[in-house]
Chain A
Amino acid sequence: MPRQTFKVNGKRVEVDVPDDVRLLWVLRDLLGLTGPKYGCGLDVCKACTSHINGKAFNPCCVPVGEIGPNDEVTTIEGLPATVGKDLHPMQEAWLDMDVPQCGYCQPGQIMAAVALVKEVRRTGRAITDEDLDGIRNICRCGTYHRIRGAIHAGAAKMSDSA
């Protein structure tokens, strides 16, 4: 069985699993990282949103064999460490606005939000309603409105490097 090696949350991991198994299951079922959630396995609900090399992606639809040895995967568990704190500014904004209800989609929402803010910043502009309308992550509890507010607040608190 192929040995997969890549970096997760700053640590190198090695795991024996066929190339074709989607990364989400490697993270959850084999590495015990349960922050990224399953909601569809179809790249639709975005509950598993994590980062690869700083960009948002959905591990439910990436075969683990496509992850290279130097690729850096960051899940919600590793997000605070990217800013060297206990909580990322986006998580703090989330808490300030008491965004979560059941909480199931929230790790994915926060990871999507952080990536969105970075992406928008790269193009040198501020977050717009249209940017927020472009977020595909499902929240079945309907926390959408507070998510919009928290992204603005979190963006304001994020330094350029966060």
Chain B
Amino acid sequence: MTTRFEETTSAEAGARNALTHPSRRRFLTYLIAAPTVVGAARWADASTGGVDPQPIPSGPTAPDTYDLNDLLTDSAKPTASMITITMNKDGSASFALPRVESGQGITTSTAMIIAEELDLPIDKVHVTLADARPELMMNQFTAGSNTTISTYEPIRSAAAAAKGQMLAAAADELGIPVGQLSTRDGIVRAPDGRTMTYAELAEKGAVATTRPVEVSLKPAAEFRVVGRPQGRVDALEAVTGRKKYTLDHDVPNALPTMICRPPTIQGTPKQVHNLAAVKKMPGITDVAMISNGVAVRGHTFGQCIDAVRALKVTWNPGTVDNESDKTFLAELKANELPMAPAVPGAQVVDESFTFYWKSNSALEPQTAIADVRKDGVEIWSSLQAPIFTQKQVADLLGFSTDQVKVHVTLAGGAFGRRMFSDVVLEACEASKKFGKPVKLMWHRTDEFRAGRMHPMCVAHVRASYSGGSVLNFEQRHTSVATDWSMGFGEPITAMGASGPPGPSPVHGDYNYSQTVWNLTVNVPYNFGEVDTAIQEIRDYSVMKSGSVRNLYNADAAVARELVVDKLAKAMKIDPYAFRDAFLKDDQSRAVLKAAAKAAKWGRSMPAGTAQGIAFHKEYHGVVACVAEIDTRPKTVNRKKRQAVTGPRVTRVVIAVDVGLPINPRGIEAQMMGGAMDAIGQILTESLHLHDGYFLEGSWDDYYYTRQWNTPFDVKVIVMPATSTSPGGVGEFPIAVTKSAVACALARATAKTPAYFPVNHFDPLPFTPFPTEPSIPQSPRDGLHEKGE
């Protein structure tokens, strides 16, 4: 039996949902319509001898009333109900999720949601990833922690429709009204003790024609699955090595393929001097120039590496040849938007922070299998925006979209990188030139040097205060342009959220960026007049830009929280007490309190170590973090081969309120994992732009968090449900943990860092790989001991 939930009209459904499931956004609007009156008496217990905080209520910032998740959810809405849950003859249920699973746990949480609504054990729910489905329009885009927010009710509705249909079939068979039947664990029970299994009913309930049905969803009070910790549905496959990523798919004759790339960012190939000789190398089957470089295909990736290294190529220049961190920094500083004049007579905190380039590369590199034939192409790749990729491939190859079959594969991490189609386009180009299927893989060095980077930016914050009040808070963010054109562009355009088209002289894709900024960046405190703005330099196509997890807030929120600490210090108020006083609502204060309590905020700590606390609001939720850091010499000066040790975050406590938590265990995992991103981005990891290329070429150059940087103690508190709707999770820990770590570091060293990561200008701890050939050879000494 296949049932499908069709809404009669979306307006009706919206009204119904609003009645039974008041949305988070409405809740927020209500709060804003009646802002909390903040009394000074509350803060009298601030024991640090400072002034009494007297917050001046701030109006809502844009994301309080409508945020990026509302935009993504609304853009997905027209096709939200075009999803199908199929009941199988064995009583199990199947669902092809139109999103990509990349470790964030959505196949597990989706299976839980279906199991809940269907009253079926979770191991009888099979969630796979849907192929690109162009009819879904903007409802197949995985980003912004939006998956569960936008799919929760549609998936429940489809499951409820399936269950309702089985109940109807059982009622027929048993001669008992539906209202007297109950369901549990895949079995329908009648009051007289008779039962029928979903296996028996799957076919009996099948309908001949598609028709709309009214469904009512299970009340939260009856939840048995949602809200309970659940292990990942794919954990067994992962720990046994059976989980299949793109390269593990066995597509006949799709042989290993790699690309020889230019020595500078976005250079292009001009001439290959030894193509015929390289084609004769052992194991090599094909060599051809493509747009971005020279593709080689062979029997093993090892032989492809040899061939790439043997190629003699003349290159055209790239887009930033001869440019370096310094040239971009000067341009960023010169292009900052002005701030309003300071409030006369007020005291001012004025801080500027530079955030250097970050890689959003996952551990599984960019990979794609493509088989281009005369009448169409078949593709396997893990893609955050597969419909967009499908269109790009159709354009590239001159096919209609129905000639482009895109299978979305499980991702070995995504982090924003898989929003872009470049690896698929390269694979298609190579497959077409070779006339054969290819299994294209980027080398690790390609990832750092030819991949996408989160743009370098300068975050300037100025706040005026007087007595116990913050009078105004201004934030000016100047960034190298971010490429939002893939994935985010369509929803933004479609929802009419962007301003008039047309780039202004220096802004690149200003409208998308402005929109993303306005819909995500907020100031959750009562700081009087609040104003934030973004300015970009260059066109987004100059650098191959993209975004890391948490978009602008990965940097912007850090600047905000560091200034919050500065304000607290200026007013001689404890950082926790200050936030408690100035946060806008009790829901926010609750997570702050939970984190502070669990971390024993304010406990006595040795010199050179400190706690930092931070708060963030996004993704229809609130989150707080306390981090502890150790900057004592014996920690900082630890020796590890090819490593950056430095200050160590020893403890992280995160309290998170995501509205309705679906899988607390998955939420814990996301918070813990995000904390590792955060630690690296503050302390150790960045790309260095030097004469048109990035110096980094491996994970021993790009210092993402390793075991020796990992906290000994990580605790996550998932707050009980505060809503009937789930918020976002995957990106949520970044801003808050980065902020807490930065604040802890500033407190431990009595110095607020001016740039991140804080080691960016330390002497390079590695020797950069040459840029030609574009990838290094694999070592040969893997059987010899290397020591620590």
Chain A residues engaging chain B, CB cutoff 8 angstroms:
1, 17-18, 20-26, 28-30, 32, 34-45, 47, 52, 57-63, 66, 75-77, 80, 87, 91, 94-95, 98-107, 110, 129, 132-148
Contacts and interface: CB of A to CB of B under 8 A. Distances in A.
A105 B781 contact: no
A132 B411 CA distance: 27
B412 A60 contact: no
A90 B240 CA distance: 11
Interface stretch (B98-106, B140-148, B465-473, B507-515): B98-106
B660 interface: no
**Most chain B CB atoms below 10 A, which of A20, A75, A133:** A133
B618 interface: no
A34 B409 CA distance: 15
**Most chain B CB atoms below 10 A, which of A52, A80, A103, A104:** A103
Interface string B707-737: 1101110100000000000000000000000
Interface stretch (B182-190, B314-322, B671-679, B757-765): B671-679
Given A61-B780, A63-B780, A102-B412, A37 B231 contact: no
Nearest to A93: B239
Contacts of B708: 133-134
B334 to A, nearest CB: 35
Given A57-B782, A133-B707, A98 B239 contact: no
A18 B705 contact: no
A75 B241 CA distance: 9
Contacts of A133: 640, 707-708, 710
Interface stretch (B150-158, B243-251, B454-462): B243-251
B704 A34 contact: no
B363 A29 contact: no
B778 A38 contact: no
Contacts of B239: 87, 91, 94-95, 99-100, 103, 106-107, 110
A137 B705 CA distance: 11
B443 A140 contact: no
Nearest to B245: A104
Interface string B755-788: 0000000000000000000001011111100101
B235 interface: yes
Given A40-B698, A148-B710, A100 B238 contact: yes
A135 B708 CA distance: 8
Which applies to chain B's interface (DSSP): helix, strand, loop or mixed? loop
Given A98-B231, A138-B699, A142-B677, A58 B103 contact: no
Contacts of B674: 142
Interface in B176-216: none
A145 B679 CA distance: 13
B704 A52 contact: no
A137 B714 CA distance: 19
A26 B248 CA distance: 14
B210 to A, nearest CB: 36
A138 B363 contact: yes
Contacts of B411: 102
Nearest to B305: A41
Contacts of B706: 136, 138, 144
Contact of B707 (A30, A134, A141): A134
A29 B788 contact: no
A29 B103 contact: no
Contacts, number: 225
Contact of B300 (A17, A61, A135, A139): A17
Nearest to A143: B673
Nearest to A42: B698
A98 B232 CA distance: 7
Given A26-B300, A144-B676, A145-B672, A103 B698 contact: no
Contact of A139 (B363, B443, B711): B363
A29 B728 CA distance: 39
B402 interface: no
Nearest to A52: B783
B300 A101 contact: no
A121 B708 CA distance: 21
A30 to B, nearest CB: 7
B363 A104 contact: yes
A41 B778 contact: yes
Contacts of A35: 240-242
Contact of A105 (B102, B301, B305, B363): B363
B243 A103 contact: yes
Given A61-B780, A91-B240, A101-B104, A132 B707 contact: yes
Contacts of A134: 707-708, 788
Given A44-B700, A58-B782, A95-B236, A142 B673 contact: yes
B230 to A, nearest CB: 9
Nearest to A147: B707
10 contacts: A1-B282, A40-B444, A61-B782, A75-B241, A95-B239, A99-B235, A105-B412, A107-B238, A134-B788, A145-B672
Nearest to A133: B708
B240 A87 contact: yes
Interface string B434-459: 00000001011000000000000000
Interface string B401-432: 00000000011110100000000000000000
B329 interface: no
Nearest to B705: A142
A145 to B, nearest CB: 4
A104 B364 contact: yes
A101 B235 CA distance: 8
Contact of A42 (B362, B364, B441, B779): B779
A57 B375 CA distance: 45
A76 B240 CA distance: 6
Interface string B681-715: 00000000000000000111000111110111010
B238 A44 contact: no
Contacts of B780: 61-63, 66
B237 interface: yes
A102 B710 contact: no
Contacts of B300: 17, 21, 25-26, 29-30
B234 interface: yes
A123 to B, nearest CB: 15
Interface string B345-372: 0000000000000000111110000000
Given A41-B778, A95-B235, A101-B669, A145 B301 contact: no
Contacts of B675: 142
Contacts of A43: 778-779, 781-782, 786
Contacts of A61: 778-782
B299 interface: yes
B661 interface: no
B659 interface: no
A52 to B, nearest CB: 7
A76 B241 contact: yes
A66 B363 contact: no
A102 B102 contact: yes
A17 to B, nearest CB: 7
B665 interface: yes
B714 A42 contact: no
Given A43-B779, A103-B243, 8 more contacts: A20-B306, A25-B300, A41-B443, A41-B444, A60-B778, A63-B780, A107-B240, A145-B711
